[in-house]
Amino acid sequence: MDPRAVDAASAWVEETLAGLTLREKAGQLVMPWVGGEYTAVDSPEFDRLRRWVEEDRVGGVIVSIGLPHSHAAKLNRLQGLAEVPLLVTSDMENGPGMRMAGIYSIPHLLPQGGGTVFPPIMSIGATGSEEDAYELGRITGVEARAVGVHMTFGPVLDVNSNPVNPIINTRSFGEDPALVGRLGVAYVRGARDAGLMTTGKHFPGHGDTEVDSHIDLPRISADRARLEAVDLPPFQAAIDAGIEGIMTAHIAVTGVEGEDAPPATLSPYFMTELLRGEMGFEGLLFTDAMTMGGISRHYDAQEALILALEAGADVLLMPRDVTEAVDAVVGAVETGRVSEERLDESVRRILQAKAAAGLHEERLVDLEAVDRTVGIRAHTETARDIAERSLTLARDREELLPLAPGRGDVLSVTYARSSDLVAGRAFNAELAGGQALAVERVDDRTSAAEWDRLRARARAADRVIVSAYVAPVEYDGSVGLDSGVARFVSELVEEGGEVIAISFGNPYLLDYFPEVSSYLLAWGRGEESQRAAARALRGEIPITGRLPISLPPHHDRGTGIRLSPR
């Protein structure tokens, strides 16, 4: 960067900081949640947003699900109201489509378009490609900046070392710390080249938990040696690569801080002594959402905010009440519990991030450029290519893949949550290829009589394909299968049926039907992943992925049968 530009940015930071009142400084630390949907300026919802910006003087917002133009228009309007430009963040850990796509109109399920949809980042672990990770970061950066987002809460740097982890799972690159670090750094580099700042999460590592921190406080027994061997290396690699932000985890590390360990978010040891002192992190330190059960079920809302600030946090993400959060920080300074110098440290880092994003020069985006940038063909083709190359065939003992040209009578059974209305739609349409295909759908509400009918139908088929759409969902706490579908697969296999199981999500589902002869992993429920799996079954594309995790006791990390197209 031009030294003069650096000097100008630094001057803006110091001048802005010097001009803020105590309450305005406190507001800079608070970052509330904002929906990405269309909101009329003359509406109660926008009145609330206006109060946050004009009265509470929040430092930024985290924007959630909506369409690209809605994001851009709303963020432009909020930026116009802000005296100090807002730092806009979003959870786009596995691409812009995570927050700007996947929207369908009801009841016809017409897709509404949006940002580029990538498969979960474990798919990139399956390709093992730094170029793929770089492109995910770069395309996310291009599309995020086009709608006014300056920082993404990604990459996920958690090492998914626990197969029953209910919330990380396919959100991780894999179980090998070196792989996670290598791909995470490539992601950071790609995003930075597109002007997007990144935030590694969830420090000091959420990969070995069995509780969803959205619901309650996970407790892990890892000691410092375990952390240094498994969980910390990806974060250190990202810090060394200059990552701009780190988000902490609401997890209690009892192996380090004892049975009464606080959540890492509230721990001076993890937030300051380890992260800043030993690991040398100098960027923005975010809490995870302060409304999550890992905090809210155990601490008073305002007290938790001050404990996080005392521990070393710069940004208090998604407090229960914005005005109360600002008041709490002001009160902590006025009573001497937190010094104004400590508050200034965090405000300065926040302003430096805004300057790094160029917000001191321009804060608005060009609405006319959005549809020339977001979800364009070059981006969607990259996502499709990754989805195809990530397909991983863990086993095919009876060589059931690809389907024979005549293929006989094939039954496709889709298992998904009852709320997942699009599971299997693209897969079955692509697999049918214009021919008749028998399709059934089951979920945890399927009755015993319906299972009996389906067993009879399956016994009459030449081949049965069972697709499971099970992925980590906030506040769900489970990534397992219903006993009905597990029993259905196991019984068919025992009777000698030809069954192909496909996971469009949780890769560890093999535990539910370990006897199945063919197990294909497509990693995610997105339409490109569904189409890729169908094309592979039809023998139109190769299968080349390798497991970035082990499937104990069935398959080791690195397993993957390579199949050429027919």
> Which residues belong to the active site?
214, 288
Pairing of strands 463-469, 316-317: unpaired
DSSP secondary structure string, 497-541? --EEEEESS-GGGGGG-TT-SEEEE----SHHHHHHHHHHHTTSS
Residues whose CB falls within 8 Å of the CB of residue 448, separated by 6 or more in sequence, listed in order: none
According to DSSP, the residues that pair with 438 across neighbouring strands are 411
Sequence-ordered alpha helix ranges (H) in 21-129: 22-28, 44-54, 68-81, 97-100, 122-127
Residues whose CB falls within 8 Å of the CB of residue 382, separated by 6 or more in sequence, listed in order: 116, 135, 139
The answer to whether 119 and 387 are in contact (CB under 8 A) is yes
Residues whose CB falls within 8 Å of the CB of residue 373, separated by 6 or more in sequence, listed in order: 142, 143, 146
Of 97, 101, 121, the closest CA to residue 112 belongs to: 101
Burial class (CB within 10 angstroms; exposed 0-12, middle 13-18, buried 19+) of 459? middle
Of 97, 81, 53, the closest CA to residue 374 belongs to: 97
Q: 351: which 2 tokens?
A: 């302003």
Residues whose CB falls within 8 Å of the CB of residue 123, separated by 6 or more in sequence, listed in order: 170, 386, 387, 390, 523, 524, 529, 545
CA pair distance 246, 284, nearest whole angstrom? 6
Q: What's the DSSP call for residue 555?
A: B
The answer to whether 379 and 139 are in contact (CB under 8 A) is yes
Of 82, 240, 126, 207, the closest CA to residue 546 belongs to: 126
Q: Is the peptide bond before 150 cis (omega within 30 degrees of 0)?
A: no
Task: Count H helices and E strands in the chain, helices first.
Answer: 21, 19
For residue 483, which amino acid is it?
A: S
Q: Is the peptide bond before 44 cis (omega within 30 degrees of 0)?
A: no
User: Any idea how long the chain is?
Assistant: 566
The answer to whether 386 and 124 are in contact (CB under 8 A) is yes
Q: Looking up tokens 């650096």, which residue turns up?
A: 6
